[in-house]
Structure 1
Amino acid sequence: MGSFLIPERRRWFIVSIIFLAIVFNYFDRQIVSILKPILKKEFDLDDKGYAIILNIFTICYALMYPVTGWLVDRFGAKLTMFWGIIAWSVASIGGGISRTFGQFTFFRGMLGMAEPTNFPAQLRVVTIWFPGKMRATANSLCVAGSSIGAIIAPPLVAWLAISYNWQTVFIVAGVVGVLIALLWILVYRDPPESITMESAGVENINETQAFTWGQLWTRRSLWGILLIRFVSDPVWYFCLFWLPGYLQEESGLTLVQMGMFGWIPFLVADLGAIGTSAWSDSLVRKGYDPLKARKIMLSSVAVLAPLCVLTPYLPNAAMTIFIFSVVAIACLSWLFTVSVVIAESFPVKNAASVLGIAGGFGALGAVLFNYFVGQFMGTLGAEKIFIVMAFLHPLAVLVLWTMVKQEKPGKSEQLTVDG
């Protein structure tokens, strides 16, 4: 027990709990995409109706994300994350006991409002517990839970739905979430001064220095981060929300086959994104400026994303899974490391707020893209949708290099924690 209390070991245990929380965060949101054919039949929906379910979740997610970032900076990661997990667990159970389309969409909206708490809290924890040379790796191990959740979702959702019923899937997910919340509140502590000083790095940035909320909006880098998330997030949301249904409805996979093979792109993405994050940390250890190291890595993997344009022309589901496995590496590398870019670019007291605002803009981009896909998948054809997707990450690269830099408050802009 004594060795566990050593801060250098405690921080990795904290990372493990965050990882577990994010696993079930993403498991909860993946349930709908895997059960898409069943839910469409249950509630008598077409693709437009299914898009409404997605957008109720995503709009609430987008609106709440900036609020949760402020909550983390104001009240800390411990309480914000605890109550967030409790709320999304209740929402998941509510989805399982819903009997009408209105009830179901209400609880999906509640899920969308609760789930953003995880990521600003996670970034805050990584920023204060880890120095720059370890930050991207620690961050990627936390956020890897997103794709692990997507990996375990197809087989577990399929098994529960086939063995019991679709309602059971939501209820089991909610119960597990409550257990994770209890584990978090028992284990998490803020770091001691020795860890805080190490995390500040050689620049020894005063942790009390920060921009005010209004000053943040005058920073060019904030607008760059918002644009990056707005244009790049929709590709990952497509992988989460539309790819499982696409594999069943367009590529001919059954629910059982989806459970057997639908996890593959997310496993490949996870391993690839952890590897690219470790690579960017290795560049920092070799002497590269941390922010420049992240930019180099993100630019290198962005060339993979346009491969999605090949999807409508692939001969079978195996090739579709292969192409999206490669595309998903780019998506997840960006999702992991843009958070680290925020931590490198803004004062520690602003990081969660910036991530919250950026996450809201990313979800807004996904809302618009979900609407576009829902309206035009059957009319314009998948080809044009994938052409649009192919340009999004290259555009994000352009924004990254031209708009994002390290932002430091001037003497007239400094805000203390108490101010």
Structure 2
Amino acid sequence: MQSTEAAAITSPAEPVGRYRWRICALLLAATTINYIDRQVLGVLAPELQKIFEWSEVQYGYIITCFQAAYAIGLVTAGAVIDRLGTRLGYALAIAVWSLAAMSHALVGSVAGFALARFALGLGEAGNFPAAIKTVAEWFPRRERAFATGIFNSGSNIGAIVAPLTVPIIAVTFGWQAAFLFTGVLSAAWLTTWLISYRPPEQHPKLKASELALIRSDPPEATERVPWARLLKYRQTWAFVIGKFMTDPIWWFFLFWLPKYLHSEYGLTLLGLGAPLVAIYVLADVGSIAGGWVAGRFIKMGWSVNRARKTAMLICGLCVVPVVFVSQVQNVWAAVALIGLATAGHQGWSANIFTLPSDMFPRRTVASVVGIGGFGGAVGGMMIATFTGFLLEATGSYVPVFMMAATAYLLALGVIHFLVPKLEPAQL
């Protein structure tokens, strides 16, 4: 059987197809839409706060509802997708978040927006578990990291597209249209997915040679390791605490930056586009550079432990200057400081996401990532509520930027304390 598969892969008579990359393109589109949908509220927040007269605390509660649902979804989505299968599981997730996104246009109260955000968080939590499972089904092991990197870039693309398109739609057609438009994008993707997606063995457009390539890896161990067992290891807690301390900073940037730029520099809805795009382009650069730096150190002969932590240190230091952002008067100086911080975060994220694969066997990596994602979402809930109360009481963002400046170095200290050599967990 193996010799037959090898012949199918290398046979000049039947070159290996590339249909699997069409599936990857669908995952990229879904992740982009995912981030556009979650960004709409943040981009429109200054205008919606005027229309509905939300207090800062109320806005914080609305964001907290999304984070709470996202945390719950990260715990449950994997099991649901495993039970239903990738095709139906992914369809269910995007159907829920599509309807939730559009439902924002129908509400007008704090409770209504909170409920819509909760539903959006539940649905959106299914995106990454479903996409990662799809990659595992459609790609051989040697191509999975590249395929994952491609679809994951949709997070930064979505963060760039939202401030470019949402203000124009809102100004031209009303704020409700912005939520309806992104929901329609999700619905269009869902239709395409249901029509075109089948498991590789059942797909009529997949060549036998490409299927042989996809299934060319040795069988992987599938024994499930319960969460309760993983929580006994300090390697798990190093990842969870690192995510808990640093993910909230990214959530703050996503949901509060438009409000900050509006309140501090008087930017209008249309004026937010260029600064936000610049910030998230820098974040994209940081994501690529952070992973490249660690890989470069390893190629130089450094140990994985030294290379990974040095790269994380560099990324953490890039966030430190954000503490001075409240002291600058020019909006583009502020954009430069915040952009450097978001670049640092994304570089940090590229490295911290590799820690589970550095320390755990492959069959447990997804579970450890899920636990860490839950920890990060809980941290996001806390910073959303804290920021709301802080702004209501003081009107100052300074304490939050101080937290951002110190969070990464403190998190790296905790990680190094718990896993000084990134030694593998002995399951």
Could you say which TM-score interval applies, normalised by the shorter chain? 0.7 to 0.9
Question: Where does residue 252 of structure 1 map in the other structure?
Answer: 266
- 1:259 & 1:82 partners in 2: Cα distance? 31
What residue is the counterpart of 2:401 in the other structure? 386
The CA distance in 1 between the partners of 2:295 and 2:117, in whole Å, is 37
User: Are the aligned partners of 1:73 and 1:353 in contact in 2 as well (CA < 8 Å)?
Assistant: no
CA deviation after TM superposition for structure 1 residue 42, in Å: 2.7
How far did 1:316 drift? 1.6
Gaps of 5+ in 2: 1-11, 202-210
Cα RMSD, aligned residues only: 3.0
**Cα 1:53–1:247, aligned 2, differ >3 Å: closer, same or farther?**
same
| Number of the residue aligned with 1:108 | 117
SS of match in other structure, 1:20 = helix
> Is the aligned partner of 1:355 residue 2:364?
no
| Letter in structure 1 aligned against 2:363 | K
The one-letter code matched in structure 2 to 1:389 is A
**In terms of mean alpha carbon deviation, does 285-294 or 141-150 score higher?**
285-294
Letter in 1 for 2:411: A
Q: Structure 1 residue 259: deviation in Å?
A: 2.3
Letter of the 1:79 counterpart: L
| Aligned pair partner of 1:79 in 73, 77, 88 | 88
Alignment correspondent of 1:30: 39
Letter in 1 for 2:255: F
Match of 1:330 in 2: 344
In structure 2, the partner of 1:299 is 313
How far did residue 400 of structure 1 move?
3.2
**Letter aligned with residue 341 of structure 1:** L
Q: Take 1:6 and 1:30, find their aligned partners in 2: how far apart are those partners?
A: 42
Name whichever of 89-98 and 401-410 sits farther off. Answer: 401-410
Aligned to 2:57: 48
Look up the SS of the partner of 1:159 in the other structure. helix
Structure-2 change in CA distance of 1:103 and 1:377 (3 Å): closer
Deviation at residue 162 of structure 1 after TM alignment: 0.5
Q: Structure 1 residue aligned with 2:386, among 372, 376, 382? A: 372
* 1:154-210 superposed Cα distances (whole Å, 9 cap, x missing partner): 120100001100000111101111222333342464695644655xxxxx7842244
Conserved 8 A contact 1:23-1:146: yes
Which digits, 9 at most, give the CA deviation of each residue in 1:321-378, with x for residues without a partner? Answer: 1111110011122334433333443333333332222112101101111111111125
Match of 2:416 in 1: 401
- SS of the equivalent of 2:222 reads coil
Bigger radius of gyration: 2
1:106-132 deviations in Å (ceiling 9; x for gaps):
111100111111122333445663646
Secondary structure at 1:151's aligned position in 2?
helix
Partners of 1:8 and 1:221 in 2: CA distance: 40
**CA–CA distance in 2 between the matches of 1:289 and 1:7?**
36
Structure 1 residues 69 and 278, CA gap change in structure 2 (3 angstroms): farther
Q: Which amino acid aligns with 2:175?
A: W
User: Match of 2:366, SS?
Assistant: helix
Structure 2 distance, partners of 1:296, 1:205, is 35
Amino acid at match of 1:397: L
CA contact (8 A) 2:87 2:197 kept: no
Residue pairs, 1:54-69, within 5 angstroms: 54-69=63-78
Contact preservation (8 Å) 2:290, 2:350: no
Which ranges in structure 1 are unaligned for 5 or more consecutive residues?
Answer: 199-203, 411-419
- Partner in structure 2 of residue 243 of structure 1: 257
**Which digits, 9 at most, give the CA deviation of each residue in 1:85-105, with x for residues without a partner?**
111001011112224433222
Amino acid paired to 2:47? I
The residue aligned with 1:145 is 154
Cα 1:38/1:336, change in 2 over 3 Å? same
Distance 1:401 1:282 in 2: 21
Distance (whole Å) between structure 2 residues aligned to residue 194 and residue 270 of structure 1:
31
Give the letter aligned to residue 26 of structure 2.
I
Aligned to 2:5: none
Instruction: Report how far residue 51 of structure 1 moved.
Output: 0.9
Q: Secondary structure at the match of 1:263?
A: helix
Distance of 1:10 and 1:403 partners within structure 2: 43
Identity %, equivalent residues: 28
TM-score by length of 2: 0.84
Q: Which amino acid aligns with 2:52?
A: F
Mapped to 1, the partners of 2:358 and 2:84 lie a distance apart of 22
Alignment of 1:204-353 (within 5 A): 206-281=220-295, 293-353=307-367
Contact 1:82 1:184 in 2 (8 A): yes
SS in 2 for 1:377: helix
1:415 matched residue in structure 2: none
Instruction: Give the Cα separation in 1 of the matches to 2:140 and 2:391.
Output: 44
Q: Is the 8 A contact 2:57 2:392 kept in 1?
A: no
Q: CA deviation at 1:262?
A: 2.0
8 Å contact from structure 1 (residues 265, 321) kept in 2: yes
Shift of 1:251: 1.5
SS of the aligned residue for 2:80 comes to helix
The one-letter amino acid of 2:97's match is W
Letter in 2 for 1:311: V
Deviations 1:215-238 (A, max 9, x none): 122222211111011000011111
Whether the 8 Å CA contact 1:211–1:409 is kept in 2: the answer is no
